[in-house]
Amino acid sequence: MRIRLKVGLALGVVVLCIGIGALVLYFVEHLDWVDSVYLSVMSVTTVGYGDRAFKTLPGRLFASIWLLFSTLAVARAFLYLAEARIDKRHRKITNWVLHRKITVGDLVAADINNSGFISKSEYIIYKLKEMGKIKEKDIIQICEQFSKLDPNNSGKISLPNLLESHL
């Protein structure tokens, strides 16, 4: 829900920028309403066909600041739209991963220590990897770090091991 609010606010700011630009063009540049909105949209979206332009000094001064702000607002709106699309895709993948049945191939792939069975932690790691929330190289790095803290290969990190690693 938070991403929808961000998208809505960003698009609202873009519409506000277009509206402010149209008002300035109407009152300062003395264009009619259609041309004011047209030039405002063309400027904010950075299309700029070149058939219209800010001609007065106050209009140009306004445009130099307004275009910077409004171009950033449009960029931010597109960023949030892309973020919403990616977020939706991630939710879809997560839902698929969590609701599909585990296969023999999954069991073999999830069995990190090749014991023939998977522990709860191995299952969690495998599901996170399937969801794209963690990568294989991250898992390997974490396992290497764990191995350094577990010199006896007991599969556990004890307080003495931890204290010894800090010496």
* pLDDT surpassing 90 at residue 149: no
Dump pLDDT digits (tens) for 69-82.
999 988 988 899 89
- Span(s) in the chain for CATH 1.10.287.70: 2-90
pLDDT at 1: 59
Residue with tokens 């969590």: 98
* Cα-Cα-Cα-Cα dihedral sign, residues 38, 40, 44, 46: positive
If pLDDT is split at 50, 70 and 90, which confidence band does 125 have?
very high
Dump pLDDT digits (tens) for 11-38.
899 999 999 999 999 999 999 999 999 9
Measured CA to CA, the distance from residue 36 to residue 26 in angstroms comes to 6
CA angle 89, 96, 3 (to 5 degrees): 30
Q: Which two tokens stand for residue 3?
A: 């991403």
CATH domain 2-90 topology: Helix Hairpins (1.10.287)
Q: Which two tokens stand for residue 132?
A: 């794209």
Residue 10's alpha-carbon distances to 19, 37, 66, 86, 113, in angstroms, are 14, 19, 16, 17, 48
User: In sequence order, which ranges of 45-157 are alpha helices (DSSP H)?
Assistant: 57-99, 104-110, 120-131, 136-149
**pLDDT, average across residues 141-156:** 87
Q: What is the pTM of this model?
A: 0.64
